[in-house]
Protein backbone atom coordinates (compact mmCIF):
# COMPACT_ATOMS: atom_id res chain seq x y z
CA UNK A 1 0.00 0.00 0.00
CA UNK A 2 1.32 3.45 -0.90
CA UNK A 3 1.21 5.96 1.96
CA UNK A 4 0.69 9.67 1.39
CA UNK A 5 4.29 10.20 2.63
CA UNK A 6 5.57 7.87 -0.14
CA UNK A 7 3.50 9.71 -2.73
CA UNK A 8 4.77 13.13 -1.70
CA UNK A 9 8.41 11.87 -1.78
CA UNK A 10 7.87 10.39 -5.24
CA UNK A 11 6.42 13.69 -6.43
CA UNK A 12 9.50 15.57 -5.23
CA UNK A 13 11.95 13.39 -7.18
CA UNK A 14 13.13 14.50 -10.61
CA UNK A 15 11.20 13.02 -13.46
CA UNK A 16 12.76 9.85 -14.84
CA UNK A 17 13.56 9.95 -18.52
CA UNK A 18 13.29 6.76 -20.51
CA UNK A 19 14.95 6.56 -23.87
CA UNK A 20 13.47 4.83 -26.82
CA UNK A 21 16.32 4.15 -29.20
CA UNK A 22 16.15 3.28 -32.86
CA UNK A 23 18.08 0.27 -34.12
CA UNK A 24 21.60 1.01 -35.32
CA UNK A 25 22.08 1.09 -39.08
CA UNK A 26 23.61 -1.92 -40.80
CA UNK A 27 26.97 -1.54 -42.50
CA UNK A 28 28.79 -3.12 -45.42
CA UNK A 29 32.46 -3.06 -46.35
CA UNK A 30 33.83 -4.48 -49.60
CA UNK A 31 37.01 -5.67 -47.92
CA UNK A 32 39.09 -6.13 -51.08
CA UNK A 33 38.32 -2.56 -52.16
CA UNK A 34 39.97 -0.86 -49.19
CA UNK A 35 43.73 -0.51 -48.91
CA UNK A 36 45.83 -2.29 -46.31
CA UNK A 37 47.38 -0.03 -43.71
CA UNK A 38 50.46 -0.88 -41.65
CA UNK A 39 49.75 -2.00 -38.10
CA UNK A 40 51.79 0.54 -36.18
CA UNK A 41 54.71 -0.33 -33.96
CA UNK A 42 54.99 -1.01 -31.10
CA UNK A 43 51.95 -3.26 -31.60
CA UNK A 44 53.17 -5.39 -34.48
CA UNK A 45 56.44 -6.34 -36.16
CA UNK A 46 57.40 -7.81 -39.50
CA UNK A 47 55.02 -5.96 -41.78
CA UNK A 48 51.59 -6.80 -40.37
CA UNK A 49 48.83 -4.77 -42.06
CA UNK A 50 45.20 -4.30 -41.11
CA UNK A 51 41.81 -3.11 -42.27
CA UNK A 52 39.43 -1.78 -39.63
CA UNK A 53 35.99 -3.04 -40.63
CA UNK A 54 33.71 -1.94 -37.81
CA UNK A 55 33.59 -0.25 -34.40
CA UNK A 56 30.74 -0.19 -31.92
CA UNK A 57 31.01 2.71 -29.48
CA UNK A 58 28.04 1.36 -27.51
CA UNK A 59 29.41 -2.14 -26.99
CA UNK A 60 33.08 -1.15 -27.07
CA UNK A 61 33.72 -3.78 -29.72
CA UNK A 62 35.68 -3.60 -32.97
CA UNK A 63 36.42 -5.82 -35.92
CA UNK A 64 39.45 -5.98 -38.18
CA UNK A 65 41.08 -8.05 -40.88
CA UNK A 66 44.84 -8.66 -40.65
CA UNK A 67 47.50 -9.66 -43.16
CA UNK A 68 50.59 -11.13 -41.55
CA UNK A 69 53.71 -11.95 -43.62
CA UNK A 70 55.84 -14.98 -42.81
CA UNK A 71 57.90 -14.25 -39.69
CA UNK A 72 55.69 -11.43 -38.40
CA UNK A 73 54.31 -11.24 -34.88
CA UNK A 74 52.21 -9.12 -32.57
CA UNK A 75 53.61 -7.56 -29.42
CA UNK A 76 52.50 -8.94 -26.06
CA UNK A 77 48.97 -7.99 -25.09
CA UNK A 78 46.01 -8.92 -22.92
CA UNK A 79 42.47 -9.07 -24.28
CA UNK A 80 40.31 -7.07 -21.85
CA UNK A 81 37.23 -8.72 -23.34
CA UNK A 82 36.73 -11.86 -25.42
CA UNK A 83 37.55 -12.18 -29.09
CA UNK A 84 36.71 -14.53 -31.94
CA UNK A 85 38.87 -15.08 -34.97
CA UNK A 86 38.77 -16.85 -38.28
CA UNK A 87 42.12 -17.65 -39.84
CA UNK A 88 41.36 -17.48 -43.54
CA UNK A 89 44.90 -18.13 -44.76
CA UNK A 90 48.14 -19.60 -43.42
CA UNK A 91 49.07 -20.52 -39.88
CA UNK A 92 48.93 -18.63 -36.57
CA UNK A 93 50.62 -19.60 -33.32
CA UNK A 94 48.59 -18.19 -30.42
CA UNK A 95 49.96 -18.16 -26.86
CA UNK A 96 53.23 -19.66 -28.10
CA UNK A 97 51.60 -22.33 -30.28
CA UNK A 98 50.50 -25.84 -29.40
CA UNK A 99 54.06 -26.98 -28.58
CA UNK A 100 54.14 -24.42 -25.76
CA UNK A 101 50.67 -25.00 -24.31
CA UNK A 102 48.94 -22.52 -26.60
CA UNK A 103 47.08 -22.94 -29.85
CA UNK A 104 48.20 -23.35 -33.42
CA UNK A 105 45.56 -22.36 -35.93
CA UNK A 106 45.68 -23.55 -39.52
CA UNK A 107 43.63 -22.23 -42.43
CA UNK A 108 40.62 -22.49 -42.16
CA UNK A 109 40.56 -22.18 -38.39
CA UNK A 110 38.20 -20.58 -35.89
CA UNK A 111 39.23 -19.64 -32.36
CA UNK A 112 37.74 -18.03 -29.27
CA UNK A 113 39.96 -16.19 -26.84
CA UNK A 114 38.35 -15.32 -23.49
CA UNK A 115 38.44 -12.12 -21.45
CA UNK A 116 41.87 -11.63 -19.87
CA UNK A 117 43.60 -13.92 -22.39
CA UNK A 118 47.29 -13.02 -22.35
CA UNK A 119 49.04 -13.31 -25.70
CA UNK A 120 52.77 -13.02 -25.21
CA UNK A 121 53.60 -14.73 -28.48
CA UNK A 122 51.34 -14.48 -31.54
CA UNK A 123 53.49 -15.57 -34.46
CA UNK A 124 52.95 -16.27 -38.17
CA UNK A 125 55.46 -18.74 -39.64
CA UNK A 126 53.98 -18.39 -43.14
CA UNK A 127 51.98 -15.71 -44.95
CA UNK A 128 48.64 -15.56 -43.15
CA UNK A 129 45.41 -13.62 -42.91
CA UNK A 130 42.73 -13.57 -40.25
CA UNK A 131 39.50 -11.83 -39.32
CA UNK A 132 38.92 -11.00 -35.66
CA UNK A 133 36.14 -9.41 -33.66
CA UNK A 134 37.10 -7.95 -30.27
CA UNK A 135 35.00 -6.92 -27.31
CA UNK A 136 36.77 -4.17 -25.40
CA UNK A 137 40.31 -2.89 -25.76
CA UNK A 138 43.68 -4.57 -25.99
CA UNK A 139 46.12 -3.92 -23.16
CA UNK A 140 49.63 -3.93 -24.66
CA UNK A 141 52.26 -4.88 -22.12
CA UNK A 142 55.99 -5.05 -21.53
CA UNK A 143 57.50 -8.38 -20.53
CA UNK A 144 57.04 -7.51 -16.83
CA UNK A 145 53.33 -6.85 -17.39
CA UNK A 146 53.57 -3.06 -17.18
CA UNK A 147 51.51 -1.07 -19.66
CA UNK A 148 52.69 -0.01 -23.10
CA UNK A 149 49.26 1.23 -24.22
CA UNK A 150 45.54 0.46 -24.09
CA UNK A 151 43.80 0.56 -27.45
CA UNK A 152 40.04 0.38 -27.72
CA UNK A 153 37.61 1.11 -30.53
CA UNK A 154 38.17 4.88 -30.22
CA UNK A 155 41.97 4.84 -30.35
CA UNK A 156 41.97 2.34 -33.20
CA UNK A 157 39.37 4.28 -35.14
CA UNK A 158 41.53 7.40 -34.72
CA UNK A 159 44.56 5.53 -36.10
CA UNK A 160 42.54 4.15 -39.00
CA UNK A 161 41.07 7.54 -39.92
CA UNK A 162 44.55 9.05 -39.79
CA UNK A 163 46.08 6.30 -41.93
CA UNK A 164 43.36 6.37 -44.55
CA UNK A 165 43.31 10.17 -44.72
CA UNK A 166 39.67 10.34 -43.69
CA UNK A 167 40.56 12.39 -40.58
CA UNK A 168 41.01 16.10 -41.18
Distances (CA, A) of 47 to 28, 42, 56, 68: 27, 12, 27, 7
| Residue at shortest CB range from Fe ion | 119
Q: Rounded to the nearest whole angstrom, what is the least distance from the CB of residue 166 to Fe ion in the complex?
A: 26
DSSP string of 126-159, one letter each residue:
S-EEEEEEEES-EEEE-TTS-EEEEE-HHHHHHH
Minimum CB distance to Fe ion smaller for 9 or for 45: 45
- Burial of 20-46, coded b for 16+ CB within 10 Å and e otherwise, reads eeeeeeeeeeeeeeeeeeebeeebbee
Q: Rounded to the nearest whole angstrom, what is the least distance from the CB of residue 21 to Fe ion in the complex?
A: 32
Minimum CB distance to Fe ion smaller for 6 or for 81: 81
Q: Rounded to the nearest whole angstrom, what is the least distance from the CB of residue 77 to Fe ion in the complex?
A: 6
Helix (H) or strand (E) holding 66: strand 61-68
Q: Rounded to the nearest whole angstrom, what is the least distance from the CB of residue 161 to Fe ion in the complex?
A: 23
Minimum CB distance to Fe ion smaller for 91 or for 119: 119
Minimum CB distance to Fe ion smaller for 9 or for 54: 54
The residue ranges that bind Fe ion (CB under 5 A) are: 119
Amino acid sequence: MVSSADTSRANSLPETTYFTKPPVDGEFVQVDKIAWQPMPEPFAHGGICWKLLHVSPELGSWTAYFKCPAGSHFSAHIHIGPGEYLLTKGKMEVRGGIENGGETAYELGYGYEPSSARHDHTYFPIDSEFYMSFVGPLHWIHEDGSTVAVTGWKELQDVWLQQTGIAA
